[in-house]
Chains A and B, each alone.
Chain A
Amino acid sequence: KAGVTQTPRYLIKTRGQQVTLSCSPISGHRSVSWYQQTPGQGLQFLFEYFSETQRNKGNFPGRFSGRQFSNSRSEMNVSTLELGDSALYLCASTKQGTFNSPLHFGNGTRLTVT
């Protein structure tokens, strides 16, 4: 069974630009969660999508948004990029959601904002 796939693997953007990251969950998994990982803040929860609906949202500004498609693939978008948005963005999937279930992570997208 294929794992969680995130594309692209690396991305370099300039301040003020916007970026879209993609996540394909494990086949049959309907929940996709997104996390931002930085050395200073660690892993911070962004949001969770389940069956195309945002079920949970972390404490991030409105510049961070996401969506999920009918095939469970998910995208997250960051608009008006800031230097502090440089991070490893991880997505994770589960069958029904994060309650009582382990998360299956992709290898992340490394975003560098210059």
Chain B
Amino acid sequence: SQQGEEDPQALSIQEGENATMNCSYKTSINNLQWYRQNSGRGLVHLILIRSNEREKHSGRLRVTLDTSKKSSSLLITASRAADTASYFCATDGNQAGTALIFGKGTTLSVSS
């Protein structure tokens, strides 16, 4: 299966701290995506990183991708209470027509 697996399953930090979540996957990919989900709501796309990219930034978010280790990390800097959510990585197959498969997510709790 190409499903990504996030680590840790749960993370609790204080406001202002950095949060790092990791994702590992099993097969070759074309791209890897990160999503956020607030409780009971739909997922919101954060970043898409292609297999030939090593790092990507978006505001306080930084994503790295290591295809040799089949792993990715999501760093949220200077966390805020509003960052409290579940974060998922998703991988596609290395060809068009394959579905986007999600990991089980990391639940981040940021307390003030």
Q: Which residues of A contact B (CB under 8 A)?
A: 4, 33, 35, 42-43, 45, 48, 55-56, 58, 88, 90, 92, 97-100, 102-108, 110
Chain B residues, CB < 8 A from A103: 33, 35, 43, 45, 90, 100
Known contacts: A90-B43, A108-B41. The answer to whether A56 contacts B103 by CB under 8 A is no
Q: CB distance A106 to B42 under 8 Å?
A: yes
- Tell me, yes or no, whether B44 is within 8 Å of chain A by CB: yes
- Tell me the complex Cα distance, A100–B49, Å: 9
Q: Encode contact with A along B24-60: 1 for CB under 8 Å, 0 otherwise.
A: 0000001101010000111111001010000000000
Residue of B nearest to A107 (CB): B42
Chain A residues, CB < 8 A from B92: 98-100
Q: CB distance B98 to A56 under 8 Å?
A: yes
Partner of A56, one of B41, B48, B90, B99: B99
CB distance from A97 to the nearest CB of B (A): 7
- Tell me, yes or no, whether B87 is within 8 Å of chain A by CB: no
Chain B interface size range? 20 to 34
- Tell me the complex Cα distance, A83–B92, Å: 30
- Inter-chain residue pair count (beta carbon < 8 A): 64
- Tell me the complex Cα distance, A55–B93, Å: 14
Partner of B99, one of A58, A102, A106, A108: A58
Residue of A nearest to B96 (CB): A99
Residue of B nearest to A100 (CB): B31
Known contacts: A43-B88, A99-B30. The answer to whether A55 contacts B42 by CB under 8 A is no
Q: CB distance B42 to A4 under 8 Å?
A: yes
- Tell me the complex Cα distance, A98–B92, Å: 8
- Tell me the complex Cα distance, A108–B100, Å: 17
- Tell me, yes or no, whether B104 is within 8 Å of chain A by CB: yes
Q: CB distance B44 to A35 under 8 Å?
A: no
Q: Which 3 A-B pairs have the closest CB atoms?
A: A105-B42, A102-B45, A42-B104
Chain B residues, CB < 8 A from A97: 96-97
Residue of B nearest to A47 (CB): B99
- Tell me, yes or no, whether B61 is within 8 Å of chain A by CB: no
Q: CB distance B102 to A35 under 8 Å?
A: yes
17 interchain pairs (CB within 8 A)? A33-B99, A42-B103, A43-B102, A43-B104, A45-B99, A55-B97, A56-B99, A88-B40, A90-B43, A97-B96, A99-B92, A100-B31, A100-B48, A102-B33, A102-B45, A104-B45, A105-B35
